[in-house]
């Protein structure tokens, strides 16, 4: 049945202007004559022959008297075109969706172009493309993006990632939003950085955030979404932090968490989508991003400790000593030292912990 419907459903949209031009040709008139025939201005006539017009009952009546058929025929012809056009636009939109959405199990692997559209609409909980644009496009446009020089995001991929985060966050039981408790929980979470396995430390971190009223989820980003993390407010009004596990290392995962936590505390209610490139220096002109970076950096190394690092030989043993003094895992210290230019990106990387994706779960490599 589905295949029959798919075969009978046009994958194109034919504007009424084509019918008008065909009739004009049959009666020996040209498109240039349409303005005179309908007693309309040249701009209206040109619009009728193209696609950028809204057919009114008055114009439908003029077309009926001049070219034949009933006014209802012309209105139906126009309405069918608009329906077909929306479907064509939805098809183009659905074809741009990353294959990862089905590979990750977020949507079914569709057996037809129509079911692909329907499955995506179901995933986003929208009936059609205009509704999707009205619901998701404004949020994406208003979001504050921290981008690396190579940040090239696909709107649909980013929206899907944020949507998946929203869906996963619904299983969390959140306490009332408590900024003081959340700040304390983030500071105390520094000791979790010593735990090697994400399956060990993430549940504890998620629970601590939830108790303070903040939803935290880790969602693998699909192709086209180069984000490291994001923070925004859910439909229920709760702050939501989503981490992508990008770069698959402990220093990057934890710094991203601290960065997004800073946004929640310092810039509550604002949507941020961040691509935090560890190889790129801080050159953002956004004061809020600078504040979040500084706050996150202080969670890893205090300004005093960082200053001390500038005056010592940064060997493997020295970094371990600094890590114990700071109270965070050595991999995080290495990340900050590399970012500050105190060691090269190729140095001391053995102190970092690496992760892999196992389905939807982040685990130790």
Instruction: Report d(CA 151, CA 143) in Å as an integer.
Output: 15
| pLDDT recorded at residue 228 | 94
Q: What is the CATH number of the domain that holds 16?
A: 1.10.260.40
Domain boundary among 295, 326, 353: 295
Q: Does residue 11 lie within any of the structural domains?
A: yes
How many angstroms separate the first and last alpha carbons of the chain?
A: 46
> Which pair of tokens denotes residue 80?
């069918």
Query: Is pLDDT at 1 greater than 70 in this prediction?
Result: no
pLDDT tens digits, 116-173? 999 999 999 999 999 999 998 877 776 776 655 555 678 899 999 999 999 999 999 9
Q: Does residue 108 lie within any of the structural domains?
A: no
pLDDT tens digits, 51-77? 767 888 998 998 899 999 899 999 998
Q: Which residues of 244-282 are buried (b: 16+ CB within 10 A; e: fewer)?
A: bbbbebbbbbbbbbbbbbbbbbebeeebbbbbbbbeeee
Nearest to 15 by CA among 92, 91, 79: 79
H helix runs in 143-286, sequence order: 155-169, 179-188, 198-211, 250-266
Domain boundary among 261, 295, 329: 295
Q: Which residues of 314-341 are buried (b: 16+ CB within 10 A; e: fewer)?
A: beeeebeebbeebebbbbbbbbbbbbee
Nearest to 82 by CA among 136, 20, 24, 130: 130
138 and 232 part of one domain = yes
Residue 336 near residue 297, CB atoms below 8 Å: yes
pTM of the model: 0.86
Instruction: Report d(CA 208, CA 185) in Å as an integer.
Output: 6
Instruction: Give the total number of structural domains in the chain.
Output: 2
Instruction: Report d(CA 206, CA 218) in Å as an integer.
Output: 9
Which residues constitute the domain of residue 145?
129-295
90 and 134 part of one domain = no
Query: Is pLDDT at 292 greater than 50 in this prediction?
Result: yes
74 and 136 part of one domain = no
Residue 303 near residue 164, CB atoms below 8 Å: no
Helix and strand counts by DSSP (H, E) for the chain: 17, 7
């Amino acid at each position: 049945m589905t295949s029959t419907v798919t075969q009978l459903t046009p994958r194109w949209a034919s504007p009424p202007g084509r019918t008008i031009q065909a009739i004009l040709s049959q009666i020996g008139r040209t498109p240039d004559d349409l303005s005179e025939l309908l007693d309309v201005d040249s701009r209206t006539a040109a619009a009728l022959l193209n696609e950028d017009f809204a057919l009114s009952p008055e114009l439908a009546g003029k077309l009926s008297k001049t070219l034949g058929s009933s006014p209802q025929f012309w209105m139906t012809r126009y309405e069918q075109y608009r329906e077909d056009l929306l479907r064509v636009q939805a098809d183009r939109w659905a074809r741009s969706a990353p294959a990862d959405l089905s590979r990750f199990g977020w949507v079914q692997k569709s057996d037809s172009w129509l079911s692909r559209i329907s499955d995506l609409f179901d995933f986003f909980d929208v009936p059609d493309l205009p509704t999707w644009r009205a619901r998701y496009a404004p949020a994406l446009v208003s979001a504050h993006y921290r981008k690396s020089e190579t940040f090239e995001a696909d709107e649909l991929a980013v929206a899907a990632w944020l949507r998946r985060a929203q869906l996963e966050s619904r299983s969390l039981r959140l306490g009332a939003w408590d900024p003081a408790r959340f700040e304390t929980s983030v500071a105390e979470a520094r000791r979790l950085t010593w735990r090697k396995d994400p399956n060990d430390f993430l549940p504890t971190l998620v629970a601590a955030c939830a108790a303070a009223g903040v939803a935290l989820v880790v969602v693998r980003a699909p192709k086209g979404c180069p984000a490291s993390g994001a923070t925004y407010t859910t439909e229920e009004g709760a702050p939501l932090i989503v981490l992508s596990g990008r770069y698959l290392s402990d220093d990057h995962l934890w710094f991203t968490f601290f960065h997004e936590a800073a946004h929640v505390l310092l810039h509550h209610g604002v949507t941020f989508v961040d691509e935090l490139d560890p190889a790129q220096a801080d050159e953002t002109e956004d004061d809020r991003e600078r504040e979040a970076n500084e706050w996150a950096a202080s969670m890893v190394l205090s300004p005093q400790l960082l200053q001390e690092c500038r005056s010592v030989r940064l060997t493997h043993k020295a970094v371990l000593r600094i890590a114990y003094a700071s109270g965070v895992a050595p991999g995080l210290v290495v990340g900050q030292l590399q970012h500050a230019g105190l060691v090269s990106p190729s140095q001391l990387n053995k102190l970092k912990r690496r992760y892999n994706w196992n389905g939807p779960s982040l685990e130790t490599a």
